[in-house]
Amino acid sequence: MNLLELKDISKIYGNVKALQNIDLTVRQGEWLAIMGPSGSGKTTMMNIIGCMDRPSHGAVILDGKDISKEGPKSLTAVRRDKIGLIFQQFHLINYLTALENVMIAQYYHSMPDEKEALQALERVGLQERAKHLPSQLSGGEQQRVCIARALINYPMLILADEPTGNLDEANENIVLDIFKQLHGEGSTIIVVTHDAEVAEEAQRTVILEHGRIAKITHNQNDQRGC
Ligand code: ADP
Ligand code: ADP
């Protein structure tokens, strides 16, 4: 089943065509990477897929529903309900503990549940750090809190923007292992990355150039079931 379909998407800023005529289908359970040079449209595409922005033209079909004409409030609701976002800069709230940072995502979605939030931290190996503030955690640990927060509401899509961009190689590998585990459990993952090693872990890589899809490569891992 297709989880996401971009149909002839364009995004125009003044006279800049940030995205042009993008057609892309992502199957449920697929792991996709998006690469491309700076200015090629990756952030714009991520913002549209992540319900943070709308295309100027075209349709965005998420879970069978066209969301391309939805207003900001409705898009926010779709995002909270269906998408788990992971950022390069973590975007954790600095005065809340790791546990509270995870619980705040529950609060926006349904009801905070400390036990479930602790389980999410456990899944990323951080149960011992639940009461720590972000400033008391390493970059790799902060990113794992960010992943726990993204997972807490059982999103149908995990969308990560340069998730290893601020991490050293050891922590990059920890994050990639978590993604492999999530993919093995059936999660659909889209990762925007500059890092070819990260992209190689995905099943397909979409390469953007000047707002268009220049190439789609099938990676070695494509045989992993989906
Ligand atoms: P990438 O993430 O690959 O660096 P972006 O999606 O950020 O690319 O940008 C694609 C193009 O669109 C660039 O030329 C950029 O300057 C332009 N752009 C992106 N966002 C805006 C905006 N809000 N206003 C005007 N131009 C923008
Ligand atoms: P990235 O580091 O992912 O490539 P950018 O630095 O290109 O991201 O963009 C950061 C933010 O600034 C994005 O939200 C993007 O939409 C916006 N942006 C990018 N280019 C422009 C621009 N020319 N004018 C206004 N906003 C822009």
pLDDT in tens, 157-177: 999 999 999 899 999 999 999
Domains of the chain, each with CATH number or no CATH: 2-218 (3.40.50.300)
User: Ligand 1 in contact with 93 (CB < 6 A)?
Assistant: no
What the block records as the tokens of 147 is 């992943």
Name the band, by pLDDT with cuts 50, 70 and 90, for residue 75: very high
Give the C-alpha separation, 46 to 44, whole Å. Answer: 5
> How far, in Å, CA of 8 to CA of 60, rounded?
9
48 Cα–ligand 1 center, Å: 12
Q: Give 111's pLDDT tier (boundaries 50, 70, 90).
A: confident
Residue 193: CB within 6 Å of ligand 1? no
Ligand nearest to the CA of 41: 1
> Given this model, what pLDDT does residue 224 score?
52
pLDDT band, residue 83 (cuts 50/70/90): very high
Does residue 155 line the site of ligand 1, with CB under 6 A? no
Query: How confident is the model at residue 95, as a pLDDT?
Result: 97
Closest CA to 37 of 205, 218, 210, 167: 210
Kindly indicate whether the ipTM for this predicted assembly is greater than 0.90, answering yes or no. Answer: no
Residue 222 scores a pLDDT above 70: no
Lowest mean pLDDT among 3-12, 22-31, 106-115, 155-164: 106-115
Q: Which of 30-44, 115-129, 162-176, 212-226 has the lowest mean pLDDT?
A: 212-226
The residues near 77 (Cβ < 8 Å, ≥ 6 apart) are: none
Please state the atom number of ligand 1 nearest to the C-alpha of residue 11: 12
Q: Return the structure tokens found at 139.
A: 């970059």
Task: Determine phi and psi for 118, rounding to 5 degrees.
Answer: -65, -40
Q: For position 226, what pLDDT does the model report?
A: 46
| Statement: residue 221 has pLDDT above 70 | no
Could you tell me where the beta strands, DSSP code E, fall in the chain?
2-13, 16-27, 31-35, 57-62, 65-66, 83-86, 157-161, 188-192, 204-209, 212-218
Which of the listed residues 9, 10, 13, 49 should we mutate to test ligand 1's pocket, taking the one with most ligand atoms within 8 A of CB?
13
Tell which atom from ligand 2 comes closest to the C-alpha of 161. 3
Residues touching ligand 2 (Cβ under 6 Å) are 38, 43
